[in-house]
Chains A and B, each alone.
Chain A
Amino acid sequence: MEDITSEEQVKGNQELKEAGQSWEKNISSLQDPEPKPAEPSGVEKGPETGSPPKGSPPRSPPSRASTSLSDLGRSHASPSPSSLQELSFIPSTLTLAPELKNLTTPSPSDSTTTDIPKAGIPHPDLLEQPPGNKEPSHHLTSPSNIGQQFRQSRSHLYGPRNVSRNHCKQEGLKSDVFQEENSNSDYSLDQPEPQVFEEAPSTLETAIQNAKAYLIKTSSKSGFNLYDHLSNVLTKVLDERPDDAVDIIENISQDVKKAQFNKKLDTLQNENEMLPTYEIAEKQKDLFLQRHLEGAEQDSEEEIVENPLPNVMESAFHFEQAGIGLGTDETFRVFLALKQLTDTHPIQRCRFWGKILGVEMNYIIAEVEFREGEDEDEVEEEDVDEERDEEESESDEGEEDGLPKSIYKAPPAIPKEENRTGANKYVYFVCNEPGRPWVKLPSVTPAQIVVARKIKKFFTGRLDAPIISYPPFPGNESNYLRAQIARISAGTHVSPLGFYQFGEEEGEEEEELEGGRESFEANPDFEGIQVTDLVESLSNWVHHVQHILPQGRCNWFNPVQKNEEEEEEEEEKGEEPDYMEQEVGPPLLTPISEDIEIQNIPPWTTQLSSNLIPQYAIAVLRSNLWPGAYAFSNGKKFDNFYIGWGHKYSVDNYTPPVPQPVYQEYPSGPEITEMDDPSVEQEQTFRAAQEAAALDSEENEETEEEEDEEDDDD
């Protein structure tokens, strides 16, 4: 150390001498036992004292710089090659960021001792910067830990910096090594230093503090600060020594930042990262796994009981011929999901009904028929509802006072059809995606169907979403979905003529009860229909789902009979004559050629799946009434499928239903109008007449007449 300072003195470099002296002074004043910690303080002090002349216009004479360079060269040469290498980048690194030297103090305790008396730099800042501490100290200590070399190298830290700052003025610099790094360093360092160092020491310190505090301010996003970043960038530049560093400085900066981000991610943010992709993949994995686990147990049962699982893939293949379907992999996922459904529920028959698109999510719908284990929860719920209604009506009747009550009675609620009959013949399960749990839809009520016919709403994909519509919809989206399913099924589920026939025994029973057959069974003698016949003639297709009456039910329910028993008066008036007539729709197994046209547009379109090879083509039936409903038949087999938004087609646009008619007020009649007040003459004549009458009747019956008089007065 002393060698160096003496050399500097010999060279006559005034500034360096000052710096060296002050630096010596610091060491002596602090009296630090260890040489290492003392150095940072010296280095720190160095720039403060030595800098003002540098900032001054005359700068430094060329000779000084060159001497300092030679000075450095000597010191490099003396210790070891490793130290030379070390010096070649360390000084520059540190000179580029003068304040960094504060941070390079090897241990926190030492830094406090050195910093408190001198610079007054807040310790928290220093202590809070482990990265800044780490990085340079690593560079410093790793090449050579020998105390003397280290000290020497540190002592020269400001030497090269002086050179570097003055380098812009001296052209004839000999050393190529320093030329590179200095030219690099000039750009970044000339800016902050004049600010810092031209001020008086007292304000200078605060200015340093402020600037540093600003630079150290941690970014809320990345948790990093510009100060460390700059030092890292420059360290990287000097480490790698690219040819055109100025050109790629942006990239270097980016790289440094990226390296930092990765570090953060590793420690903090990479945990608990649950992307939906993985989430759904995890759930769908269960679909694939379950097959192996439950397969062994289920196989034995399924052999006994008829396997309810439909052959989804076969149907999908046929529909693909027609250009309809979900795509191969999604179809198979649905297939697996259906398998899961049939494994977990007592299902006798199952079918892939279709898919209804929603705004946020879609519905995949399965149509099932339970074996004998239909859940009884719903039945109980119904009972509760009915009881509630009865209670309300009773309480209404119980109140009796003079005021008239509202005589308006809601139109009689039409009960929903029993399970396994009519529109509730099948139970529907929906799920948003294969792999997600199946949700059983509630059974449909006639009121829901009636209202659903009047509204047209997009499905959101959430079953509990409310349906906000003009005729208030009784229920949420699950009810609306169920109602649309019932309507679509009733309209578009068709089969080739002859595939189904009426069950004889059951049919007769039904005939007696309802006047129409409502059950059918597969025809065992079905021989198949030529595909060309199916395409050419619509009469070869029949509906096998019951028509839904305007009432909202498949089977007629007479609401008037009930009324007769309870309220005969209203019945006499004939309030609702419409209900007297039974609504009749087309019976079961009616050919679709009798379907009603939609304003000159035929309700069905038939096509052959392939015109190129008609021999093996299948007949494809497309509903124009319900866009998205398809049926295919290859003569022997058939299936129905729906995919779409769940809306009915109409040539005209949707028109909201007209408002309810306004109830007419009570007609003005003798019950409403009143007579004028009795005039004085009237009362006088009346009194005269009374008196006369009283005189006459006194003789006959006194008491009665008096009472009569009173009555008349009233």
Chain B
Amino acid sequence: MDAESLLLSLELASGSGQGLSPDRRASLLTSLTLVKRDYRYSRVLFWGRILGVVADYYIAQGLSENQLAPRKTLYSLNCIEWSLLPPATEEMAAQTAMVKGRFMGDPSHEYEHTELQKTNDGDKAFEEEVVVRLPLSEARKLSSYFHFREPVLLKNKSLLEKASLDPSLDFMDSLEHDIPKGSWSIQMERGNALVVLRSLLWPGLTFYHTPRTKSYGYIYVGTGEKNIDLPFML
């Protein structure tokens, strides 16, 4: 969701119980503005919150002028100091796919990943044979997973204008969702005044849209794990 309209968006998306505490909201509003200035972003989106075991990651995304360019992702633990996440490479993505379980909430935490594809939550892996250490790239990879996999924008929301995506002013009221049928839960809340989409594949992703207005957005609050039990659960 847009950093500027954060408060309204949070209120709208709160039907799923995913909110921010008042001090987090205030600090986000403050710090995201600064992020926008410092990093020269044209837009800053608050992406969501990944619940770690010890602490939570707050994730924001910065959009530059060229909106087709890959988005920069930032994380923060206290909503004030933001750090840039390194872009995830293919190799890292493959390695991260081996890791199951929750984020620890400690950015320097390194997941041990032995060749047995067994997940160990060791602290600092200084043992000899331990193969790969995956620090923050996991978070990065998951978030990139999300916005590649779940770019939930309203259909026709963005017209391809001048070879770059710009939010267009006129759009249709339909929603775009993808092929795995049943991976979305659409609900009309408050009568028909609010459309809420919840991803069942990534539980915690909530998308909202107020019909006949331009307000839409999504937020993720969850553990950052894909629900691959979906076929069993439907």
Chain A residues within CB distance 8 Å of chain B: 275-281, 320-328, 330, 355, 357-362, 433, 455-458, 599-602, 605, 607, 609-613, 622, 624, 627-628, 643-645, 647, 649, 651-654, 656
Contact = CB atoms under 8 A, between A and B. Distances in A.
A427 B221 CA distance: 31
A628 B222 CA distance: 9
- Smallest CB-CB A-B distances: 7 pairs: A277-B191, A643-B17, A327-B14, A654-B229, A323-B21, A280-B191, A359-B185
B60 interface: no
B233 A458 contact: yes
A609 B200 CA distance: 28
Interface string B179-213: 00010010111111100001010010000000000
B20 A323 contact: yes
B14 A325 contact: yes
A653 B23 contact: no
Contact of A651 (B100, B190, B191, B228): B100
Nearest to B121: A600
Q: What size tier do the contact residues of chain B reach?
A: 35 or more
B94 interface: no
A279 B191 CA distance: 7
Given A277-B193, A362-B187, A599 B101 contact: yes
Contacts of B100: 651-652
Given A357-B198, A358-B185, A600-B121, A653 B229 contact: yes
Contacts of B55: 607
A281 B222 CA distance: 31
Interface in B75-105: 78, 100-102
B14 A275 contact: no
B229 A456 contact: yes
A354 to B, nearest CB: 8
B210 to A, nearest CB: 12
A411 to B, nearest CB: 25
Contacts of A647: 233
B51 A622 contact: yes
A325 B54 contact: no
B77 to A, nearest CB: 10
A281 B16 contact: no
Given A612-B23, A651-B100, A330 B229 contact: no
Contact of A361 (B11, B187, B228): B187
Contacts of B222: 627
Contacts of B51: 605, 622, 627
Interface in B133-166: none
A458 B203 CA distance: 11
A651 B21 CA distance: 28
A275 B191 contact: yes
B232 interface: yes
B83 to A, nearest CB: 18
Most chain B beta-carbon neighbours within 10 Å: one of A323, A601, A605: A323
B190 A325 contact: no
A645 B203 contact: yes
B14 A278 contact: no
Contacts of A279: 191
Given A278-B191, A601-B101, A644-B17, A611 B78 contact: yes
